[in-house]
């Protein structure tokens, strides 16, 4: 199967998984399902002729990426901590979806579900596999833009729950929240692609995991306050 056909198959697999995962998949299946789908799309890409380095980035991607992602993650986590101190910005982290989550649940989300089920899977898919396949059929910039656009669309269904469960988003119409979420995550996705191209895949994985975990901890703390 050629690169263009493989790209289409990967996009179709991710689209089906996005719908099934958000609408029908039980919560306990989130991490294992994402690991299975992540492995599948990597296998499809490698089978079509994509090298591992095309997915991970520069040869020193792990060491350099961990450092770059870690530094950026610390800064971002600190910014989230400051933002929660103010009423208007703090509302952006007040989320009903964390209600009922205990200490064990918090640790599971922060240390397993978010880093592995969300950050690792999404970065492998949207900053690794999709751009690697895209670069075989078009320019690197267009490949990154395509992956960023798909990353934005990936958040359409999750943003619907944000529109109803987040105190900050509740001020706006659901349609506005969805459009804003898609645009914002697409922009973030393009920034993550820049990080991957400069420091390797580990950089956006670490930053993504740190930001999402910090936001979850902030929401959990606000719900307990």
Domain residues of the chain, as ranges? Answer: 3-224
Q: Is the dihedral of CA 185, 190, 49, 121 positive or negative?
A: negative
First-to-last alpha carbon distance for the chain, in angstroms, is 55
For residues 143 and 75, what is the distance between their CA atoms, to the nearest angstrom? Answer: 28
Buried b / exposed e along 52-73 (16+ C-beta atoms within 10 A): eebbbbeeebbebbbebbeebb
**Residues 148-197: tens digit of each pLDDT:** 999 999 999 988 876 565 555 556 666 787 899 999 999 999 999 999 99
SS3 60: coil
Q: Give bridge partners of residue 166 from the DSSP assignment.
A: 95
Instruction: Name residues of the chain where pLDDT drops below 70.
Output: 90-92, 94, 162-174, 225
Bridge-partner residues for 95, per DSSP? Answer: 166
Q: What pLDDT score was predicted for residue 58?
A: 77
What region does 166 belong to: left with phi over 0, alpha with psi -120 to 50, or beta? beta
Q: What is the structure's pLDDT at 168?
A: 55
Task: Dig out the tokens for 19 from the structure.
Answer: 């719908």
């Amino acid at each position: 199967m050629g690169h263009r056909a493989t790209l289409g198959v990967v996009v179709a697999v991710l689209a089906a998984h996005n719908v099934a995962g958000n609408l029908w998949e039980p919560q306990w299946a989130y991490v294992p399902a994402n690991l299975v789908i992540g492995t599948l799309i990597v296998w499809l890409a490698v089978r079509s002729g994509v090298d591992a380095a095309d997915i991970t980035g520069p040869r020193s991607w792990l060491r350099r990426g961990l450092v770059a992602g870690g530094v950026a993650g610390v800064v971002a986590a600190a910014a989230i901590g400051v933002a929660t101190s103010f009423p208007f910005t703090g509302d952006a982290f007040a989320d009903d979806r964390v209600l009922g989550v205990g200490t064990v649940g918090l640790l599971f989300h922060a240390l397993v579900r978010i880093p592995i089920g969300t950050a690792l899977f999404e970065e492998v898919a949207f900053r690794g596999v999709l751009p690697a396949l895209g670069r075989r059929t078009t320019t690197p910039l267009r490949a990154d833009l395509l992956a960023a656009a798909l990353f934005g669309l990936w958040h359409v269904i999750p943003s619907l729950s944000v529109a109803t469960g987040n105190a900050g988003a509740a001020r706006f119409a659901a349609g506005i929240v969805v459009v804003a979420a898609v645009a914002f995550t697409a922009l973030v996705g393009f920034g993550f692609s820049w990080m991957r191209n400069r420091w390797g895949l580990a950089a956006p994985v670490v930053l993504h995991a740190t930001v999402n975990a910090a936001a979850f901890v902030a929401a959990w703390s606000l719900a307990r306050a």
